[in-house]
Amino acid sequence: MTFTRMILRKVRHEPVVAACYNLLLAAAIYQLCRAAFFLLNMAWFPDVTASRFFVMAKGGLQFDVSAIAYTNGLYLLLQIVPFRFRQHRRYQAVAREVFMVANFLAITANCMDIVYFRFTNRRTTASVFSEFSNESNIVKVLAESCIAYWYVPLLIVGLTWLLRKLYYMPRKAGAATLSAAVYYPLHTAFMVGVVYITVIGMRGGAGVTTRPITISNANRYVNRSVETAVVLNTPFSILRTSTKKVYVNPKYFPDEASLSRIYSPLHTPHTLGEFKPLNVVILIVESFGKEYSGFFNRDLDNGSYTGYTPFADSLYQVGLTFKYSYSNGRKSIDAMPSALSSIPMFVEPFIVTHYSNNDISSIAAALKTKGYYSAFFHGAPNGSMGFDAYARSAGYDDYFGLNEYGNRDMDGTWAVWDEEFLQFFARKMGAMRQPFITTVFTATSHHPFRIPARYEGHFPEGTQPIHKCIGYTDNALRRFFKTMSQYEWFDNTLFVLTADHTNQTTHKEYLTDLNSFSIPILFYHPGGSLTGIVDSIPVQQIDIMPSVLSYLNYDQPYFAFGQDIFSTQEYSKFVANYNNQTYQILHNGYFMQFDGQNVKGIYDCKNDVLLQHNLLGQAPANDTEQLLKAVIQQYLVRMIENRLRE
């Protein structure tokens, strides 16, 4: 036997060597998770070829190593402590179970995101724990999801089995024969070396000037921000966002004066008449993306597309709506601050940041100064998604949830069926003193995409599970407006209809970084003259509050990050949102993406709907970049300084 073979025989059973092998095995499992994620979500990545995927997977190794180093820290510690008992069989059996538990959780997180990504367009972050912390039915939701997406738990089980099958258990080896004088110094040196390498892995690199990698580093390997989800892994995304974010002034502008000259969220109305005490009803409809409307998509499918919202389409024809209208976030909890307080979602959902206790303005608080009564309605259990807490902080007088409705007419998972709850909403308004401002957040058009048994087969199934739910909710809206029209004050009411975010998508036009935020926004005043479809300006959820106040001739100063769409300054209109660690703005006919330091892309979105031609360096960008920087700085600074009212 050669000396080399003898050494190899001895060291291959060393716990440190076994740990290296098992961690490499974990890295291979992460790559299999990435491949499954990509293959099962290929529609979201139409431009990613096999060669580009391998580039992204190679870039993802850095994030995988970091996640593996964090999640396997205890296992690694068990394998490197410089004591002989590491090689006892029972000790190694415990170490194996520690390894399996840590990596089972990592596999589960990665695989669950195969489905959850379709609803958020990004890897899950630590905010998910805050978002669902008040849900009493989360176990039921998960159980139903496992049934609906049966291949995900099957994949989890398969990968976990493979990991256990290939796990290498070190056996007692020749190191035990080493004298103490040699053994302890040698293995202490190994421990120090492994710790050093592990820290480098956690940070994503070595060197004093190397900053720990963050989610935004994934942009280095992609052309579109949504593609960062392929590069990243879910454990890394959760770990990197697990601590509360502390915003920092980016200092794009040196002082408040120069910043405000570009953009300011302070509004001083210039009214055109007396205040109009109209009732205001805001409907935030779950997942009611613009793609589902035939009215907005007459050219889809070679002109044959009819959509799933015939009633909403009839409203769009008699109200005022917009060709270019967008959400400011991708989650339900983003919609309330955006639509009701004119606060966009930047970096993380406002509700789950530690800035959520800031003093805020809202449409309800503003109209309270004019004697309005306000109420918020949501058919889920009180406390769900933190909506009731937000409604209180936003100045709503009352909140009506499942406690007030009564435990009946439930969809079995989330909330009261939309049809019944919208009728409850209508009846409650029928007994309210006027003027009032009310808001309802619907729930049925949501996973697990179930409709009442009496309507099975009644609505078009479409090509996605959500389509029949959209049809059901559209019909519930029809019945709601029929009930509302019977009240004598119906003509004296301004209705605003919007979605919280988009959802399941089937057309490539709605898979882009811009149109994945595309939702309807409708202003409907039965007794007024708000009609037509505007195609000259972009509109966003945060524009709802200032626009409603403008339409009512509200005459007091107020705070809102959005803009009054009824003003005549078309050039200043913009849409801004945040997508996979990238700021986005639609302004002056161009769509720009900005990573906080540099512009990464600019597109002529009207003529390049699929955003295939990056005009960086070719198209005019300076004014748009300056505007976006001003919006970002105003947002971050005012969050830090708790100045969301003045």
Highest mean pLDDT (candidates 84-88, 114-118, 547-551): 547-551
Q: What is the pLDDT of residue 100?
A: 96
> Roughly how many angstroms between the first and final C-alpha of the chain, as a whole number?
81
Residue-range domain boundaries for the chain = 3-240, 267-566
Lowest mean pLDDT among 41-55, 355-369, 443-457, 564-578: 564-578
Cβ-based neighbours of 192, under 8 Å, separated by 6 or more: none
553: enclosing H helix or E strand: none
Q: CATH second-level architecture of 267-566?
A: 3-Layer(aba) Sandwich (3.40)
- Residue 35, pLDDT score: 96
CA-CA distance, 437 to 252, in Å (whole number)?
A: 38
Mean pLDDT value across residues 220-237: 89
H runs (alpha helix) in 380-508: 387-393, 402-405, 418-430, 466-484
Contacts of residue 71, Cβ cutoff 8 Å, sequence gap at least 6: 102, 103, 105, 106, 235, 239
3-state secondary structure 130-187: HHCCCCCCHHHHHHHHHHHCCHHHHHHHHHHHHHHHHCCCCCCCHHHHCCHHHHHHHH
**249-262 pLDDT per residue, tens:** 999 999 999 999 99
Give CA–CA dist 203/347, Å, rounded: 21
Could you tell me how far CA 428 lies from the centroid of its own chain?
A: 32
Please report, for residues 217, 368, 446, 459, 557, the alpha-carbon distance to residue 553 in angstroms, rounded to integers and kept in the order given: 46, 15, 36, 41, 12
For residue 348, what are its two tokens? 């993380």
Handedness of CA 137, 139, 145, 147 (dihedral sign): negative
A 10 A CB-CB count for 139 gives: 9
Sign of the Cα pseudo-torsion (25, 26, 31, 37, in order):
positive
Q: What is the Cα–Cα distance from 19 to 587, expressed in whole angstroms? A: 53
pLDDT of residue 33: 97
- Residue 25 pLDDT more than 90? yes
Helix (H) or strand (E) holding 494: strand 493-499
Q: Which pLDDT band holds residue 570 (cuts at 50, 70, 90)?
A: low
Nearest to 353 by CA among 241, 449, 445: 241
pTM of the model: 0.85
- Joined together, the tokens standing for residue 401 give 């949830």
List the beta strands (DSSP E) in 233-335. Answer: 266-267, 279-285, 320-322, 325-326
Residue-averaged pLDDT of the chain: 90
Instruction: Check whether 133 has a pLDDT greater than 80.
Output: no
The Cβ of residue 162 has, within 10 Å, a number of other Cβ atoms equal to 15
Residue 593 pairs in a beta bridge with 584, 601
pLDDT of 327 > 90? The answer is yes
pLDDT score recorded for residue 639: 92
Contacts of 138 (CB under 8 A, 6+ apart): 132
Q: How far apart are CA 158 and CA 589, in angstroms?
A: 49
Element spanning 438, H or E? strand 436-441
DSSP 219: G
**What tens digit of pLDDT does each residue of 573-627 get?**
999 999 988 999 999 999 999 999 999 999 999 999 999 999 998 988 889 999 9
| 458 three-class SS | coil
